[in-house]
Amino acid sequence: MPGVLWIDAIMGEWVDFLKKTKELDHTLMVFTADHGCIAKGHCFEPGMRIPLFMHCPQLIPKGRVVDAVK
């Protein structure tokens, strides 16, 4: 199974478990990734942007997007 599909399946199982145990709204989930081998070692665009998703309704408003690094 390709990596993205595997991650999607595992994350789906985790979210389903948190929903079933009624802990989804009380759990901070942080998901990030690596930029791979393409951009390591320089600061050009591909090396600067990596995904970061966070979910915790008690701490982070739904739909909030932060474009700046502080």
| Inside any domain, residue 70 | no
> Can you give the pLDDT at residue 40?
57
Number of domains in the chain: 1
Contacts of 63 (CB under 8 A, 6+ apart): none
| Inside any domain, residue 39 | yes
| Inside any domain, residue 51 | yes
| Inside any domain, residue 44 | yes
| Inside any domain, residue 31 | yes
> Can you give the pLDDT at residue 31?
86
* Domain hosting residue 46, numbered range: 25-64
Residue 13: pLDDT over 90: yes
> Can you give the pLDDT at residue 16?
97
Top-confidence residue, 35 or 64: 64
| Inside any domain, residue 58 | yes
> Can you give the pLDDT at residue 38?
61
Global pTM exceeds 0.85: no
| Inside any domain, residue 7 | no
pLDDT digits (tens, 9 = 90+) for 17-48: 999 999 998 899 998 877 666 655 666 665 56
